[in-house]
Amino acid sequence: MGKRVVIGMSGGVDSSVAALMLKQQGYDVIGLFMHNWEEDENGQCTSAEDWRDVIGVCGKIGIPYYSVNFAKEYMDRVFKYFLDEYAAGRTPNPDVLCNREIKFGPFKDYAKSLGADYVATGHYCGVSHDGGEFLLTAADSNKDQTYFLNQVTTEQIKDVIFPLSDILKPQVREIAEKYDLVTAKKKDSTGICFIGERKFRQFLAEYLPARPGEIVDTDGRILGEHNGLMYYTLGQRKGFGIGGVSGAEQNRWYVVDKDLDRNRLVVSCGEGEELFSRSCVCSGLNIIGEWKEKEFEAAAKFRYRQGEQKVFVRIEGDKVKVEFAEPQRAVTPGQYAVFYVPFDGKKRRCLGGAVIDETFG
């Protein structure tokens, strides 16, 4: 029997194929499914359906499977932060924290209690254990998920395997169909699991009281009323209920700022020049693996579906000053600046990242 690998099974096609690949490589594979949210009677989270699919996949490929409940840990370590950030007018990314605080924290510890030599997930990313621990980008650049792993620690990626690091998404589907896995045609999950199919505003209103206020343009003219600043993000172009405004350009309106002190949503109309910035300051820097440079050129992403942007980084304690080679649109406080540098000529190394605090024009 080979080395034991405990793999996080989500009920999706990616973790299903990752588990199959590990089994074919001769590992002693155990599937482990996480329940991270206690559903109420009106809940729409797909946890029950996902668990059924995990049972089907594990039965098909012939591996044992278990489930574990981390709902309390998720509430304490991820969801409370999520609410606090929205209450402060920022736009958090709970999936980033879920990886650090749950999947590579309590989950990994539980896997070790099952005798795991290694822990695996279906993330699209890579890892190098040669001369240190380094987080690497995936071969499938369209699916690369290093952005969401930017806050995991160096220690957390020790003894971790990412089976999908060198495989493309279409190949994953082909493998799932070839071996008749029940998840072969299952749609990829989107959004945050605990919200499920519910409307985001409706869900958020269950936990945070909405404070309606004025919508104003950059000159301070009152244009309407918003439903609560937490419902809007920088660059958003719809959902205001603003029609044509006398004396204003007749283009689409977009959010340029949130005035927390006066509970005002600031919008503008035109091409979005106000949304561009040339630098930002970040906090809570996390570096994965050894790195000694305090000032360096790198590439950065400020949101998941963004290409890498050339930047100059200056580290000052746990603060990071980031200067952009080209002005960037809608760099949003509460989101993450994630940094990349060359690794071996083929893949890129994800250095880690920090939370965006403030931007400068």
Torsion angles phi and psi, residue 90, rounded to 5: -100, 175
Q: CA 310, CA 226: separation in Å to the nearest integer?
A: 36
Q: Which of 233, 178, 209, 257 is nearest to 20 (CA)?
A: 178
Angle at 224 between CA 221 and CA 226, to 5 degrees: 120
Name the E strands within the chain: 4-8, 28-35, 65-69, 118-120, 126-128, 134-136, 160-161, 213-217, 222-226, 253-259, 264-269, 276-287, 295-301, 309-316, 319-329, 336-342, 348-360
Name the E strands within 260-335: 264-269, 276-287, 295-301, 309-316, 319-329
Task: Tell me, yes or no, if 98 is annotated catalytic.
Answer: yes
Q: CA 222, CA 279: separation in Å to the nearest integer?
A: 30
Q: What is the DSSP secondary structure assignment for residue 103, as one 8-state letter? A: I
Q: How far from the centroid of its chain's Cα atoms is residue 269's Cα?
A: 30
Among 45, 58, 193, 280, which one carries the catalytic annotation?
193
Task: Tell me, yes or no, if 280 is annotated catalytic.
Answer: no
Among 98, 125, 280, 282, which one carries the catalytic annotation?
98
Q: Which of 340, 354, 284 is nearest to 138 (CA)?
A: 340
Two structure tokens written together for 235: 């660059």
Distances (CA, A) of 76 to 45, 70, 277, 335: 19, 10, 34, 20
Q: Which residues are catalytic?
A: 98, 193
